[in-house]
Amino acid sequence: MVNIVVVSHSLQLAQGVEQLAQQMIQGDCRLAIAAGVDDPEHPIGTDAIRVMAAIESVYNPAGVLVLMDLGSALLSAETALDLLDPAMAAQVMLCAAPLVEGTLAAVVAASAGGDLAQVKAEALGALAAKFSQLGEETGPAAQVATVQSMPADCLSLSWTLLNPNGLHVRPAARLVGALAPFDARLALEKGGRRVDPRSLNQLATLQIRQGDSIRLLADGPQAAQALAAFGALSRQGFGEDLPDNISGNPLANTLTGISVPPGQVKALVRLVRPVRHQAARTTVQPEDLPGQRRRLDQAITATVHDLDQLARQAEATMGREPGAIFSAHALLMQDEEIIQGMRQRMTRDRLGAEAAAEQELLAVAGEYRAMDDAYLRARELDIHDILNRLLGHLAAAPVVPLDIDGGVLVLAQELLPSEMVGLDRRRVKGICLSQGDILSHSAILARALGIPMVVGVAGCMEVAKTGQQGLLDMVSGVLRLTPA
């Protein structure tokens, strides 16, 4: 990681810059200062030896960027380079950026993993926001270009900024750091203008204030993960504690989510609450355990049969890959380790078949939920789908397909992958989930069916009513409701 050295004539000035910069630093980025001279009566000045020691203290093969305040600071820095080992000096760059703005931009870019050239470029462009905000026609503002156009089918997530002071430098730095790791093309949009959200300088030129609507567009291998990180950071106030009364913001009635395919849906709302089976924790007598094992085995067989049928139906209507989802579910339901885990819980804890099955499969779901990979974490929903079907057979109330007609906009808390099979684009104009995950198999099946879906629209089930008109904007991820 690139590290930073600040050279100043004034120790107090350098310490102030360091204090500001420390609020922006994330990860392992380090900053050192070389400021003032050892003369109590005349402390203003710079010392080449001090500069050399500062560079050596933070040296990293990735490079060191040195920023300076006045002319003789540059001379001291150049002398320090001459004193350094040539191999080390080759990885040090002096930068003409303004000391305060340049240092802040540099530490953010370095924290985000930028190389030495990228960190220097960010520092040099640090005055762009001021030029833009003051309407100056010359200067580095001209160097901040908008990003290239994004594909029409790219993923996007919209957010209305709630931070009272807008997306100022600290929350903007958090956003840069959050998006840095992902292999994706990204653009942040406000009012039709798009910038690179991994550049602190470009973010500043958007002048994002409280109440502004912004949209992150993402395309590439890790586009979905980038959107998920953006959504999580947005809901956390970009690292700031939001006022307790923020829910009173008039914009709170605009619900946002992550759009799956693009488009717009206008239809009557229908709230859907599918049956979710749960098991009561009941203990059984030892003599009853053989009967409970038989019930469990029969329910597993019936569940596997269901899943095999779903696989054939999904393949016939959507293709081989959607069918493979349920084939994998069937294999998981036949996994000997999982079956043995259920049986052991029955014997060890004297649990009935329902409680043993629920505890074992919830433990498996928890393992998925704890995984680092976002795609694998989304497989937790598959386990809940299998469990719901298994508990249905144990309760002699097998899961039945959703029966939805009328060309409606379906609102639900969550839809399981198996509940997507059999849905018809002519009857279901769109789906809006208060929970959900764009990496879930439910979202993948929605795309295969051609049914627009938005996930993560928190509060939609409490606000909406069946029969009222709904408009679901797939580009912005916004749900608008009109009175019933």
Q: Which residues are the active-site residues?
A: 9, 168, 441
Q: What is the torsional sign of CA 336, 337, 342, 348?
A: positive
Instruction: Name the H helices within 251-373.
Output: 289-318, 320-333, 336-349, 353-369
What is the enclosing helix (H) or strand (E) of 469? strand 469-473
| Buried/exposed 338-359: b ≥16 CB within 10 Å, e otherwise | bbebbbebbeeebbbbbbbbbb
What is the enclosing helix (H) or strand (E) of 31? strand 31-35
394 and 295 Cβ atoms separated by less than 8 Å: yes
Tokens (6 digits) for 178: 């959050």
Distance CA 450, CA 402 (A): 17
Distance CA 5, CA 74 (A): 12
55 and 30 Cβ atoms separated by less than 8 Å: no
Question: 262 — phi, psi (to 5°)?
Answer: -75, 165
For residue 40, give the amino acid letter.
P
Q: What angle do CA 313, 315, 320 make, to 5 degrees?
A: 165
Q: Which residues pair with 266 in a beta bridge?
A: 471
CA 134 to chain centre: 33
Question: 36 — phi, psi (to 5°)?
Answer: 75, 175
